[in-house]
Amino acid sequence: METQLIEALRRVRRLVVLTGAGMSTESGLPDFRSPSGLWAKHRPEELASVDALLHRPLLFYEFYRYRLEMLEGVAPNPGHKALVNLERQGRLQCIVTQNVDGLHTAAGSRNVLEIHGSLRKARCHTCGRPYPSEILKRPVTTLAEVPRCACGGPIRPGVVLFGEMLPEAPLRRAVEAVENCEALLVIGSSLQVYPAASLPEIALRRGARLWIINLAPTPFDRVADLVVAKKAGEVLAQIA
């Protein structure tokens, strides 16, 4: 399977890649649903939701301070770099990522659609004014320390929280790219969260091929053309 995928990736001309947290574990960041993932220790609705921001702010800000701290010192891995090469060869139309770690952009990828937003950004929850994410690195141990905008609203990370709609533009562009691709390569995602998980469905409906590199099984394995259950960084490094 792996050699077939490498061969297919060498020949593909209009590829779209969809990445998830499994793309960044080899950079040292935890994913969410693996046994060692973030959701093994925390309940997402408790922490990564608007409800948490408004009603459990000390927990919310501590969680995102912890996630921002984890970003310091992590770097793109060979998998991120292999995708930069594919893009430079003109065969990778765009990367649609569920990741908020900014590692594709840090690696040098130019056409990246961050459909779940980015931890590298922050904004006022009330008026939308942008703020540097550094503000969220300060400890918040009392309600008085909650970072607030000039308008009085709480400043929050630029990521999609549970219960929120995704930013309209990146998702629309992602759907358009998938509707026009020859193949969709999913890397490091359990494909359990919508609307990201609707992208493989769109690809298949349009007659595109579906390839998956993921350590654990996904709901799309039985309809995919190729499934490689190996480490993304190792598989992708063979293409470079």
- Asked if 49 touches ligand APR (CB under 6 A), the answer is no
Give the C-alpha distances (Å, rounded to integers) separating 123 from 136, 151, 232. Answer: 10, 12, 32
**Closest alpha carbon to 229 in 218, 239, 216:** 216
Judged by CB under 6 A, the chain residues 110 through 169 that form the site for ligand APR are 116
CB 21 within 8 A of CB 44: no
Residues with a known catalytic role: 116
Contact residue for ligand APR among 5, 17, 21, 184 (CB under 6 A): 21
Q: Is 188 in the site for ligand APR (CB under 6 A)?
A: yes
Candidate segments 61-69, 80-88, 141-149, 190-198, binder of ligand APR by CB under 6 A: 190-198
Burial label, 139 (beta-carbon count in 10 A; 0-12, 13-18, 19+): exposed
Print the SS3 string covering 136-170: HHCCCCCHHHCCECCCCCEEEEEECCECCCCCHHH
Question: Stretches 5-13, 24-32, 50-58, 103-111: which one binds ligand APR (CB under 6 A)?
Answer: 24-32
Residues 208 and 181: beta-carbon distance below 8 Å: yes
The site for ligand APR, by CB under 6 A, has a size of 24
**Do 227 and 185 form a contact (C-beta atoms < 8 A)?**
no
Binding characters for ligand APR, 55-84, by CB under 6 A (x = yes): ------------------------------
Tell me the C-alpha distance between 223 and 28, whole Å: 31
Q: How crowded is residue 110: how many other Cβ atoms within 10 Å of its Cβ? A: 11
Q: Is the Cβ of residue 93 or residue 98 nearer to ligand APR in the bound state?
A: 98
Alpha helices (runs of H) in the chain, residue ranges in sequence order: 2-11, 38-41, 44-47, 50-55, 57-71, 78-88, 103-107, 168-179, 198-205, 232-237
CA–CA separation, 132 vs 59, rounded Å? 21
Residues 192-231 that bind ligand APR (CB under 6 A): 192-193, 213-216, 231
| Residue with smaller CB distance to ligand APR, 33 or 121 | 33
Binding residue (CB under 6 A) for ligand APR from 9, 31, 76, 118? 31
Query: Minimum Å distance from CB 144 to ligand APR?
Result: 30
Q: Does 170 bind ligand APR (CB under 6 A)?
A: no
Give the residue, chosen from 155, 185, 190, 199, that forms a contact with ligand APR under the rule CB under 6 A.
190
Q: Which is nearer to ligand APR, 149 or 210 (CB)?
A: 210
The sign of the dihedral angle between the CA atoms of 129, 39, 94, 204 is negative
Residue nearest to ligand APR (CB): 22
Residue ranges in contact with ligand APR by CB under 6 A: 20-22, 25-26, 31-34, 37, 44, 98, 116, 188-190, 192-193, 213-216, 231-232
